[in-house]
Amino acid sequence: MDGYDQSDPHRHANLDLHPVRPRRNPHRLRTRHHRLPRLDVRDVRAARSLPARLVEYVGPPLLDSLQQFAGLTEAEARDALTVYRASYHEHGAFDSAVFPGIRGLLSRLNEAGIPLAVATSKPELQAKRILEHFDLARHFDVIAGATEDESRSAKSEVVAEALRRLTEQGVDLAQTVMVGDRAFDVEGAAENGLPTILVEWGYGSPAEAVGAIAVVHSTDQLSSLLLG
């Protein structure tokens, strides 16, 4: 892919590293299901069928997902998003765990002088809060996320913002690569001219690896690609 040379692994910033994931049966997915009937969703049957499809909500902006998968109008989706975020902030934000090996990998990347950024469709303030809670925020030069009003929410927009902030810090972006777990990461990075390494410990499926330059199964494999 343009702008990335695997033979020179030491000159790139890494976006969307996904160091933290909700535990099994995560609160944020339960909340998305349980709040919909309360909001008078017109198609209750569609709302109650969500558990088997909840993974579809992970990755794209939630406002879009609520309209696409739950059949909500934009106004209903915004109401649902407000309720969900309030509940998630109070009960679910820290119902997560750091992936094994991530802390060590981030430390090694820092020691190698590789700039790191997070680019997430999660609201930026929430992302910072979660990373700070798990003592991970200190590893990143930039933490970019969606705005609270969803004016910046698409992955391509968030990646562009992360790159803009890195540029402001004087970071050389010539060897920048996205690290993600969904097709949305691959697509959002590509729109900004970046290649993607797909990790298999997230919510994606093998089919979503189309367009990625590599797929890794462990932090050791990812470390080998990033550090050589």
Q: What is the 3-state secondary structure (H, E, C) of 93-121?
A: CCCEEECCCHHHHHHHHHHCCCCEEEEEE
For residue 201, being part of any structural domain is answered with yes
One domain for residues 87 and 166 = no
One domain for residues 66 and 142 = no
Gyration radius of the chain over CA positions: 17
Q: How far apart are CA 131 and CA 59, in angstroms?
A: 18
One domain for residues 67 and 143 = no
One domain for residues 59 and 124 = no
- Per residue in 191-205, pLDDT tens? 999 999 999 887 777
For residue 2, being part of any structural domain is answered with no
For residue 9, being part of any structural domain is answered with no
52 sits in the region (left: phi over 0; alpha: psi -120 to 50; else beta) called alpha
Domain that holds residue 66: 27-92
One domain for residues 77 and 180 = no
Q: Which of 2-16, 135-149, 164-178, 185-199 has the lowest mean pLDDT?
A: 2-16
One domain for residues 150 and 204 = yes
What's the chain's average pLDDT?
77
- Per residue in 37-74, pLDDT tens? 444 444 433 444 445 466 566 656 777 777 877 788 88
One domain for residues 124 and 216 = yes
For residue 123, being part of any structural domain is answered with yes
One domain for residues 120 and 213 = yes
Q: How many domains does the chain have?
A: 2
One domain for residues 175 and 155 = yes
For residue 161, being part of any structural domain is answered with yes
Give the global pTM: 0.71
